[in-house]
Amino acid sequence: MEPPERIFSDTPREVEDLLVGIYRRMPTWRKIELVEDANRTARQLALAGLRSRHPGESEDRLRRRLLDLVLGEETTLKIYGSAAETDE
């Protein structure tokens, strides 16, 4: 029988096995918390990048730019309307 495919190519097998075991034993609610934390951090980093590229823009406009990046401009337009409405 072949060993399962590796998740982390740069991590020793025994460390990867330990980590996978920890995640398998972890309660579902904790896994969800970890994903929520990672998403929150990614959103904060993306907003920080947008702030540095568009200094002086309002928080509403920056959030709209983030939505455009995450959802795509076409989808954001369908859901939230034009960006001009965001600036009002």
Average pLDDT across each block of 10 residues of the chain; the chain has 88 residues. List them in order: 76 92 96 98 97 95 95 93 70
Question: Which pLDDT score is estimated for 34?
Answer: 97
Taking the model in full, what pTM does it have?
Answer: 0.73
Give the position of tokens 């795509």.
Answer: 72
Q: Where do the H-state alpha helices sit in the chain?
A: 13-25, 28-53, 59-71, 73-80, 83-86
Give the integer Cα–Cα distance in Å for 34 and 19.
Answer: 14
